[in-house]
């Protein structure tokens, strides 16, 4: 009976495939895709649940500055599926309070104690200096909800922004070699300034120039090249908050969501 049991049910340590390093012991963990999807560290004997219903890959061997775990990229299926990086430890044990559980990290009991608001991907992380956090990759407020439009780091060559709270997608100039956020903010709407390196064969710039820096809401060229895939509108005259902190554009009165009841900033990331 023991041999039959072992044949039918292999140990957890023998399941899955080697994927990423544990930040505690620096040994490789195995990814077990069967539901609930999770990582298992055989050395520490700990389990870290991962976002369900998608593919998970190693993200350039980059590590989280908070806990030294290697970052992973989660990709939802379909051409409009979002892709986002996440730290296995932060996803199960959010280091910041007030993080919404958007993608359903399992709260079932196990060797890992999941904290309140478990399920923090990098696009919800308020870390002020990490290059993968919402603070670094957030561009402007979502026109459809109180979320933030975040740059998809692996969407090239079909670059895009996605909302970290709803299904709004914004297509950026397609075919660009590189699109990245900068540390600068638009003086008009407080959105994050982005840098676009166009393909020299398809650049819309004069004299064959390829590098352009500007705000996607206030820069005439960039605004003409963006397209909303989901949502009702993407009007530059609406009230925009750069990464949840901006103000109305000069010369235009706020409308739509700008007339909503004021929320306590401590209960959201609006004024972070």
pLDDT tens track for 123-162: 889 898 899 999 999 999 998 888 899 999 888 888 899 9
Sequence-distant (6+) residues with CB within 8 A of 110 are 47
**Phi and psi at residue 47, in whole multiples of 5°?**
-115, 140
Distance of CA 230 to the CA centre of its chain: 17
Q: What is the mean pLDDT of residues 85-90?
A: 94
Tokens at residue 217, please? Answer: 């809401």
Confidence of residue 199 (pLDDT cuts 50, 70, 90): confident
**pLDDT(254) > 70:** no
Q: Say what the pLDDT of residue 13 is.
A: 59
Distance CA 51, CA 56 (A): 9
pLDDT tens-digit series, residues 30-81: 998 888 889 999 899 899 999 888 899 999 999 999 999 999 999 888 777 7
Q: Say what the pLDDT of residue 8 is.
A: 46
Tell whether pTM > 0.85.
no
Q: Say what the pLDDT of residue 83 is.
A: 87
Tokens at residue 103, please? Answer: 């993608």
Q: Say what the pLDDT of residue 22 is.
A: 95
Distance of CA 176 to the CA centre of its chain: 20
CA dihedral for 152, 158, 159, 165, sign (positive or negative):
negative
Specify the DSSP element, H or E, that contains 197. strand 192-197
Can you give the residue ranges of every domain in the chain? Answer: 2-124, 138-254
The whole-chain average pLDDT of the chain stands at 76
pLDDT tens-digit series, residues 204-248: 888 888 899 999 999 999 998 888 876 433 444 333 444 444 433
Distance of CA 49 to the CA centre of its chain: 17
Distance CA 39, CA 61 (A): 16
Starting at the earlier edge strand, list the strands of the sheet with 178-185: 178-185, 192-197, 211-214
**Is 172:217 a contact under the CB 8 Å cutoff?**
no
Distance CA 159, CA 181 (A): 12
Q: Say what the pLDDT of residue 95 is.
A: 85
Specify the DSSP element, H or E, that contains 71. strand 70-75
Distance CA 220, CA 89 (A): 42
């Amino acid at each position: 009976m023991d041999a039959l049991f072992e044949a039918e049910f292999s140990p957890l340590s023998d399941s899955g495939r080697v994927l990423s390093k544990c930040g505690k012991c620096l040994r490789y963990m195995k990814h077990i895709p069967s539901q609930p999807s999770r990582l298992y560290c055989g050395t520490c004997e700990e389990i870290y649940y991962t976002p369900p219903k998608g593919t998970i890959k190693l993200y350039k061997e980059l590590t989280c500055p908070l806990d030294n775990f290697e970052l992973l990229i989660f990709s939802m299926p379909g051409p409009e599926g979002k892709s986002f990086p996440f730290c296995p430890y932060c996803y199960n044990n959010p280091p910041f309070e007030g993080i919404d559980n958007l993608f359903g990290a399992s709260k079932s009991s196990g060797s890992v104690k999941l904290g309140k608001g478990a399920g923090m991907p990098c696009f919800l992380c308020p870390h002020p200096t990490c290059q993968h956090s919402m603070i670094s990759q957030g561009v402007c407020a979502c026109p459809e909800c109180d979320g933030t439009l975040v740059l998809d780091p692996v969407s090239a060559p079909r670059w895009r922004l996605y909302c970290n709270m709803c299904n709004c997608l914004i297509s950026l100039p397609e075919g660009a070699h590189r699109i990245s956020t900068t540390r600068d903010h638009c003086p008009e709407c407080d959105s994050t300034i982005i840098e676009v390196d166009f393909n020299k064969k398809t650049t819309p710039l004069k004299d064959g120039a390829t590098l352009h820096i500007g705000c996607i809401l206030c820069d005439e060229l960039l605004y003409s090249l963006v397209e909303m895939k989901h949502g009702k509108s993407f009007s530059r005259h609406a009230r925009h908050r750069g990464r949840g902190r901006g103000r109305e554009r000069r010369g235009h009165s706020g409308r739509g969501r700008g007339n909503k009841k004021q929320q306590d900033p401590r209960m959201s990331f609006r004024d972070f």
